[in-house]
Amino acid sequence: MRLFSLALLVSTWAWACSALVIDTASLGLHDNQLAQHADPSLAGYLGVFFLGADPYVYFYLSNGNNPISFKALNKGSPIFKPTKGTGGVRDPTIVPGGGSEAGKKWYIIGTDLNIGKTTWDAAQRKGSKGIFVWESTDLINWVNESLVVVEDNTAGMVWAPEAIWDPAKGQYLVHWASKFYPTSDPNHIGNPSSIRIRYAYTSDFRTFSTPQTYIDRSPTNIIDLTILPLNPSNSSSQSFLRFMKDETLKTVFVETSTTGLFGTWTRAGGSSVIIQSGVEGPAAYWDNTTPGKVHLLLDFYGSDGYRPFESSNPGSNSGWTQSSRTGWPTGLRHGSVMAVDQGLYGRLSSKWG
């Protein structure tokens, strides 16, 4: 009897250990890379958002190096407004330059949608097939506004574009959500496909490769993909986290790849685990000072917009906790946050602080 329980205990322990090993390895954490994340050169965070009734680009700067305390720049007025397309931009995301543009160039891209001028139904059947692009070499002057059409007329809309430098390709991977109507339904009156994530490559946000499908979970609708490098200190690392919204169930979840942006993605915990329901527009960023901690903004679209969450095990769908909102502004909607060094922090502060 005793021997049996001991054997059971040993085998349970061995199973627990092997499970643990598989889990950490699948997250790419086997060589303590997380310890490298906190970067002493980083002095704060720039948040780029739109506000509920105001589809323009707003900047928020962290109070010092506090990742969950932000103040509006430019006295709360937009940094810029679109002049093309619908005249409204939602889901603005700031894309740091990669490769030869690293530290020298930034892009803001976003959805061409002013919902005040249309309806949610029309916006998905006959919405814009373009993405807004602005360019900057200093984070202060935003120029060269363009509306780049990325899908053909079978698409109902192009939503929530984001981009990330792909070290394996040496170009930017741009992705967005679209659904499609058959060519026999040119007026988009009938039933569309499920919403899937599409992608294209670009070197300059002017010319894009022919779009292809990146994530298709049909019949489930997927929108609002965002990708976070797992080892930001190594620009050639092939490890990434990706957060997205299940638009059918209205939930947000995370997947991990250690084999590149087109490698094998694993949803830790299985196909039904989630981080949070009733939210959209995930925006993720590493903590500048606490190694291994990720902040995740989740847009409570039916309520007060973004609320910050945090985790020290960001590849897991469980264990995310709501952060303090003492220093958190209300009403921020789907956008993005980027770490900035002292030079950029000072420049943003003196221009718009």
Ligand X SMILES: *[C@@H]1O[C@H](CO)[C@@H](O)[C@H](O)[C@H]1NC(C)=O
234 binds ligand X (CB under 6 A): yes
Between CA 203 and CA 165 the distance in angstroms is 9
Between CA 84 and CA 86 the distance in angstroms is 6
237 binds ligand X (CB under 6 A): yes
Give me the least distance between CB of 79 and ligand X, in Å please. 15
CB nearer to ligand X: pick between 144 and 153: 144
Give me the least distance between CB of 173 and ligand X, in Å please. 17
Binds ligand X (CB under 6 A): choice among 24, 63, 77, 144 = 144
How crowded is residue 299: how many other Cβ atoms within 10 Å of its Cβ?
A: 25
CB nearer to ligand X: pick between 12 and 259: 259
DSSP H or E segment with residue 14: helix 2-26
Judged by CB under 6 A, the number of residues near ligand X is 9
143 binds ligand X (CB under 6 A): yes
Interacting stretch for ligand X, rule CB under 6 A, among 10-18, 84-92, 118-126, 132-140? 132-140
Output the six-digit token pair for 105. Answer: 């160039």
Q: Which of 153, 207, 139, 219 is nearest to 185 (CA)?
A: 153
Q: How many CA atoms lie within 13 A of 247 on its CB side?
A: 19
DSSP annotation of 281: E
- The amino acid that residue 231 corresponds to is N
CB nearer to ligand X: pick between 203 and 237: 237
Binds ligand X (CB under 6 A): choice among 26, 65, 118, 136 = 136
Interacting stretch for ligand X, rule CB under 6 A, among 82-90, 117-125, 172-180, 233-241? 233-241
Give me the least distance between CB of 234 and ligand X, in Å please. 4
153 binds ligand X (CB under 6 A): no
Q: Which of 253, 238, 333, 267 is nearest to 48 (CA)?
A: 333
CB nearer to ligand X: pick between 95 and 222: 95
Is the Cα dihedral 328, 331, 333, 338 positive or negative?
Answer: negative
CB nearer to ligand X: pick between 257 and 313: 257
Cα 273 to Cα 25, 62, 267: the distances in Å are: 19, 31, 8
Rounded to the nearest angstrom, the gap between the alpha carbon of residue 260 and the centroid of all alpha carbons in its chain is 17
207 binds ligand X (CB under 6 A): no
Give me the least distance between CB of 203 and ligand X, in Å please. 13
Rounded to the nearest angstrom, the gap between the alpha carbon of residue 40 and the centroid of all alpha carbons in its chain is 24
Binding positions for ligand X, 306-345, rule CB under 6 A: none
CB nearer to ligand X: pick between 167 and 278: 167
Interacting stretch for ligand X, rule CB under 6 A, among 92-100, 170-178, 218-226, 231-239? 231-239
- The amino acid that residue 107 corresponds to is Y
236 binds ligand X (CB under 6 A): yes
CB nearer to ligand X: pick between 104 and 117: 104
Interacting stretch for ligand X, rule CB under 6 A, among 121-129, 131-139, 276-284, 338-346? 131-139
Between CA 304 and CA 45 the distance in angstroms is 21
Binds ligand X (CB under 6 A): choice among 112, 135, 287, 299 = 135
264 binds ligand X (CB under 6 A): no
Q: What is the DSSP string of 206-269?
A: SSBPPPEEEE--TTS-EEEEEEEES-TT-TT---EEEEEEETTTTEEEEEEESS-TTS--B-BT
Binding region for ligand X (CB under 6 A): 135-137, 143-144, 234, 236-238
